[in-house]
Amino acid sequence: MGIVQRRYDVAFFLSRELVISPPPTLRRQIRSLRRALSADERRFAALAVARRLTAWPAFAGATRIAGYWACDGELDPTPVLEQAWVANRQVYLPVLAEKSLLCFAPYRPGIPLRRNRFQIPEPEVDPAEWLRPSQLDLVLTPLVAFDSNGSRLGMGGGFYDRSFAFLREAKNLGHRPRLLGLAYEFQKVAELVRQPWDVPLDVVVTEAALYEFSEPGGDAGS
């Protein structure tokens, strides 16, 4: 079964079951569905997301772009990052810093990698080259689920919420990175309960649509 048909079958299942599940159950169910995708389906979705995202006008203005190392069936950002390298953009990957916060290390193919305590590869570069979250322009963010308000359900560690907590402050009127979730269309659910510490997404891109969340409840697929 192709990813398009799977998308509709799973969306029906989500609308009836997962939106009423507590976060641990929701995470388990969607992660299982995500891991069930074939390699061809994952590649198809990653390329479709890259085409959609690189045609988005705001992508052209982003110089410092953070990606992530896809694992556990997450949508692979590699095709997007390859386009960024071709356009001479600076690409960064997250690294675990002190107090369970994220910093972002420069990355290009060939840079040595080391595994963090979760066995996720990180660029092995001098910490003096790391950027703080506030120094980025665009942050490609992994997720387990998202909703039409831009709420994001992650893996439960809270690393992105802690690291980008400054975005919730009203006084933050200067440079602000845009948080952009990458997902399969079936990861969209009707509603997630947003906690006070949750940092919402600005945009989500799937193989089927690009959703911008300018106001609560105001998304527009394109």
**Cβ(152)–Cβ(146) under 8 Å?**
yes
Tokens of 175: 């440079």
What pLDDT is recorded for position 6?
Answer: 53
In a domain, 43, yes or no: yes
In a domain, 77, yes or no: yes
Alpha-carbon distance values, 52 to 69, 83, 205, 207, 222 (Å): 20, 12, 8, 8, 9
In a domain, 218, yes or no: no
What pLDDT is recorded for position 12?
Answer: 44
Model confidence, pTM: 0.87
What pLDDT is recorded for position 156?
Answer: 87
In this prediction, the residues of the chain whose per-residue pLDDT falls under 70 are: 1-22, 170-174, 214-222
pLDDT tens-place string over residues 41-70: 999 999 999 999 999 999 999 999 999 999
In a domain, 113, yes or no: yes
In a domain, 222, yes or no: no
pLDDT tens-place string over residues 155-187: 989 999 999 999 987 665 667 899 999 999 999
Query: How many domains does the chain divide into?
Result: 1
In a domain, 47, yes or no: yes
Any idea what the CATH number is for the domain that residue 81 is in?
3.40.50.10420
Range of the domain at 33: 3-212
Q: Residue 115 — φ and ψ, nearest 5°?
A: -95, 135
